[in-house]
Amino acid sequence: MRRHRERAMGRARPEQRGGPSIREFLRYYVLVLLDEKPFSARNLRRALRRRSRENQQFRPSGVLLASARDLRLVLQQLSRQGLIEQSGDEWCLTGSGRERLRAYEESKDANGTGKERAARKLLSLMGTARPGESTLDVGTGEGFLAFQLADKGYRVLGIDSGSFDYSKESIQSARSKAQSCGGQVEFRKTSVADLAVTRASFDYVVTSQAMHCMKDQRQCLDAICRLLKPGGTFLCMDFLVGLEGFLHHGWHCLLAISREEWRRLLPQRGFEEPDCHKAGDYLVVRARRQLNGQCGPC
Ligand SMILES: C[S@@+](CC[C@H](N)C(=O)[O-])C[C@H]1O[C@@H](n2cnc3c(N)ncnc32)[C@H](O)[C@@H]1O
């Protein structure tokens, strides 16, 4: 009951996170922490929570609470590779660990961010518009995806709640651009949850770099399910949870949903099994709304 009330007020507690994506991030970030000083496993978990605190600005539950089991697995793996060693109950970085860390830092400069690449992947997964097909772009901002979709022939509605200082004026500027482009694109200031209680429904719902900004991601997915026609397709591009995501986007990448979390969350919420595609430091996810499935409550 208390948990339900906290969620309703956007105060959900952090949940433990694990799985391959989080372990990939930990294999890097444990080296970063141990480069500063030795840590026990328990203090490493606390440090991760403290360092990710800025994520609370977006979502109160956004700090990283790494699963103790996954952290233990990563420590064992790094130790087997000779990158860290144990002294009493504390872990320290070895010379090879320091070299590995430098190599990670250099790889960061080598690869640029892949937003355009991810958008190309998302558009290719949509295929070609058939006459009359409608698309909703959730968290459209200034219409990054909406305009590209209108160019491909889709009828597009871009919505944005204007939730952040930087996004308050986004819809206004998207509307001004739309006047000069003359495509089939319209913009509205509203949240996805508010739109879902209307009778609106779409062939596609897309979203770019916005899922990680949602205060309540589960509620947002339930709303998206309701806004899709049965059999309609949801496509999402957002930061990759893992090493490349972290090297390019820092702690914000951990506000996004990892591929293993998508695979668990979507079938529970009225979608078919999703397919996930890595595009550099982004993840592109595609899932159809089940024909007879139930969406969660709005
Ligand atoms: C990082 S911006 C991404 C903008 C754009 N899609 C892009 O790729 O450049 C995320 C946007 O999501 C919007 N947003 C956050 N929560 C929302 C919600 N519940 N419903 C609709 N939009 C939301 C924010 O206002 C913000 O403009």
Under-50 pLDDT residues of the chain: 1, 6, 8-10
User: Which residues are paired to 239 by β-bridges?
Assistant: 282
Tokens 């978990």, residue? Answer: 45
The pocket around ligand 1, CB under 6 angstroms, is made up of: 138-141, 144, 159-164, 167, 170, 191-192, 208-210, 213-214, 220
**Chain-wide mean pLDDT for the chain?**
92
Q: Which pLDDT score is estimated for 135?
A: 97
Give the span between the Cα atoms of 96 and 23, in whole angstroms: 20
DSSP, collapsed to helix, strand or coil, labels residue 218 as helix
Nearest CA to ligand 1 atom 11: 139
pLDDT tens, residue by residue, 43-64 = 999 999 999 999 998 898 899 9
Nearest CA to ligand 1 atom 12: 139
- Taking the centre of ligand 1 as the mean of its atom positions, its distance from the CA of residue 39, in whole angstroms, is 38
- Taking the centre of ligand 1 as the mean of its atom positions, its distance from the CA of residue 216, in whole angstroms, is 13
Nearest atom, ligand 1, residue 162 CA: 25
- Taking the centre of ligand 1 as the mean of its atom positions, its distance from the CA of residue 43, in whole angstroms, is 35
- Taking the centre of ligand 1 as the mean of its atom positions, its distance from the CA of residue 24, in whole angstroms, is 27
Long-range pairs for 93-99: beta carbons < 8 A, 24 or more residues apart = 93/31, 93/34, 93/35, 97/31, 97/34, 97/35, 98/35
Helix H or strand E encompassing 146? helix 144-151
- Taking the centre of ligand 1 as the mean of its atom positions, its distance from the CA of residue 166, in whole angstroms, is 10
Q: Which pLDDT score is estimated for 163?
A: 84
pTM assigned to the model: 0.92
- Give me Rg for the CA atoms of the chain: 21
Q: Which pLDDT score is estimated for 10?
A: 47
Nearest CA to ligand 1 atom 10: 210
Q: Which pLDDT score is estimated for 57?
A: 85
Amino acid at position 218, single letter: R
Out of 115, 117, 122, 161, give the residue to mutate to test ligand 1, the one with the largest number of ligand atoms within 8 Å of its CB.
Answer: 161
Amino acid at position 4, single letter: H
Give the span between the Cα atoms of 260 and 97, in whole angstroms: 28
Q: Which pLDDT score is estimated for 3?
A: 53
Question: Cα dist. 186→43, 131, 142, 157 in Å?
Answer: 50, 17, 12, 5
pLDDT tens, residue by residue, 116-135 = 999 999 999 998 888 889 99
Q: Which pLDDT score is estimated for 298?
A: 64
Q: Which pLDDT score is estimated for 58?
A: 87
Long-range pairs for 254-257: beta carbons < 8 A, 24 or more residues apart = 254/17, 254/25, 254/52, 254/55, 254/62, 254/64, 255/55, 255/58, 255/59, 255/62, 255/212, 255/213, 256/211, 256/212, 256/283, 257/211, 257/212, 257/217, 257/285
Amino acid at position 32, single letter: V
- Taking the centre of ligand 1 as the mean of its atom positions, its distance from the CA of residue 101, in whole angstroms, is 34
Nearest atom, ligand 1, residue 237 CA: 8
β-pairing, 65-66 with 16-17?
A: parallel
